[in-house]
Structure 1
Amino acid sequence: MIQRIQSIYLLLATAVSGGLIFVFDIWSSIKEEIFALDLFFRDSMLLKVIPLLYLLSAIVSFATIFLFKNRKLQFVVGRLVILINLFLLGLLIYVSLTLPGEVSISEKGIGMFLPILVILLIVLANKAIKKDEDLVKSVDRLR
């Protein structure tokens, strides 16, 4: 049952959250582009949480694919991934608004909007999971 549409959505969410952080920058300054994994080497603990949340979102999204036998748990874990990405999005907005030297760091990258795309994919996956659950319930009523 891995070939369902929600598995494709979850796999895409995993690829966006775990793979595209290497491709797109979070913000760029005149001197350098800052990717998510570059934040591991910063002094601030707040900045070290950002790549950790990206990778946690990717791991949990990937693990959710294999929960297809328990659709209710899969739905709940999908909501957990949405909460992780909402927290990540809020953290990225907070960091972008409080960065020192805003004149030199004024260009935001596409990497800041990746959590929005992941949230959209997980919502679509949860919608498909709910549709499957409703189908199973309707078949059970016919028996």
Structure 2
Amino acid sequence: MIQRIQTIYLILASAISGGLIFVFSLWNTLKKQIFVLDLFFNELLLLKVIPFMFITSAVLSFVTIFLFKDRKLQFVLGRIIILINLFLLGLLIYVSLTLPGEASVSEKGIGMFLPILAILLVVLANKAIKKDEDLVKSVDRLR
């Protein structure tokens, strides 16, 4: 249902987690910019997890839109998306602090902050879902 505000929030969260990873870089080296999809070809398993978490967050946000008939499940999936993005943010901070050659890699990209935007949008969506659930409960009480 596109007329609900939480749908808009979840579409934006899905677009941020799944679409903007192609636009914004995570960090810049002296040679090139490192994007999320460049981490697939890295030999470290820790760096290969980051793209999967971005994609998982985007897919879950998109799937949550279509669960509008089951608001409780939608709310729980919103919490799971928040946890995924919090873990992703922590992982990105850890990787940025432990990059080899940190003296030459001092410029971080805006892609490091994409999970924060996704968390904010999903929190707003969960707030609207909770508001809808409370409204339905109050109407059921009147019957």
Q: TM-score range by the shorter chain?
A: over 0.9
User: For 2:40 and 2:112, how far apart are their aligned partners in 1?
Assistant: 16
2:51 counterpart residue number: 51
Question: What amino acid maps onto 2:8 in structure 1?
Answer: I
User: For 1:123 and 1:93, how far apart are their aligned partners in 2?
Assistant: 21
1:121 counterpart residue number: 121
Question: What amino acid maps onto 1:71 in structure 2?
Answer: R
1:27-46 aligned within 5 A: 27-46=27-46
1:61-100 aligned within 5 A: 61-100=61-100
Structure 1: 5+ residue runs without aligned partners? none
User: For 2:44 and 2:133, how far apart are their aligned partners in 1?
Assistant: 44
2:112 counterpart residue number: 112
2:26 counterpart residue number: 26
1:15 counterpart residue number: 15
User: For 2:108 and 2:42, how far apart are their aligned partners in 1?
Assistant: 18
Question: What amino acid maps onto 2:20 in structure 1?
Answer: L
Structure 1, residues 69-90: CA drift from partner, whole Å, max 9, x if none? 0000000000000000000000
Structure 2: 5+ residue runs without aligned partners? none
User: For 1:113 and 1:30, how far apart are their aligned partners in 2?
Assistant: 21
Displacement of 1:106 after TM fit? Answer: 0.7
Question: What amino acid maps onto 2:15 in structure 1?
Answer: A
Structure 1, residues 91-136: CA drift from partner, whole Å, max 9, x if none? 0000001111001111000000000000000000000000000000
User: For 1:2 and 1:79, how far apart are their aligned partners in 2?
Assistant: 21
What's the RMSD between the two structures over aligned residues? 0.6
Query: How many pairs align?
Result: 143
Moved over 2 A (4+): none
User: For 2:28 and 2:60, how far apart are their aligned partners in 1?
Assistant: 28
Native 8 Å contact 1:26 1:110 kept in 2: yes
User: For 1:38 and 1:52, how far apart are their aligned partners in 2?
Assistant: 12
Question: What amino acid maps onto 1:100 in structure 2?
Answer: P
Identity %: 78
